[in-house]
Amino acid sequence: MGNLLNNYYEAVAVILFGIGFTTLLFHRNMIKKIIGFNIMDTAVYLFLAAKGYIEGRVAPVPDGPDASRLVTDYINPVPAGLVLTGIVVSVSVTAVMLSLTIRLYRRYHTLDIDFITMLVKKEQATEKEQGIEQVKER
């Protein structure tokens, strides 16, 4: 329990990851799924940022009056780079998912993925029936 309280950033990040993960996997609404995905990825960035921070040190920008600082005065800059890359990745994936959702909505007028799956199956069944009728007519 003590560990958990000391590392509360990490604990919160993992809890958020879980929330996002379950929302992405189990929620039926497409938009909420995408929100879940974003929460999940953001949780990872929080985790990274929390791990990169070192108590009592400053941002790694050697500029201004403090230019004479030593390497040991700065926090770890790598996680910040990873977070930036990760944000770019998740933005592009979110864009793809949103465009998919728009196309699904235009076609089926709903955001519920289970309902859409059902509609698609129905579509397929009617197509098949029509095909059989056409063959019979011939």
Residues that bind another protein (CB under 8 A): 17, 20-21, 24-25, 30, 33, 37, 40-41, 44, 47-48, 51, 78-79, 82, 85-86, 89, 92-93, 96-97, 100-101, 103-104, 107-108, 113, 116-117, 119-120, 123-124, 131
Q: Output phi, psi for 58, to 5 deg.
A: -110, 170
Look at the block and give the residue holding tokens 């700065």.
Answer: 74
Q: Is 46 in contact with 16 (CB distance < 8 Å)?
A: yes
Q: What are phi and psi of 7, to 5 degrees?
A: -100, 50
Report which of 41, 12, 11 is spatially closest to residue 24, judged by C-alpha positions. 41
Query: What 3-state DSSP class applies to 61?
Result: coil
Q: Token digits for 110?
A: 């709903």
Chain-centre distance for alpha carbon 136: 50
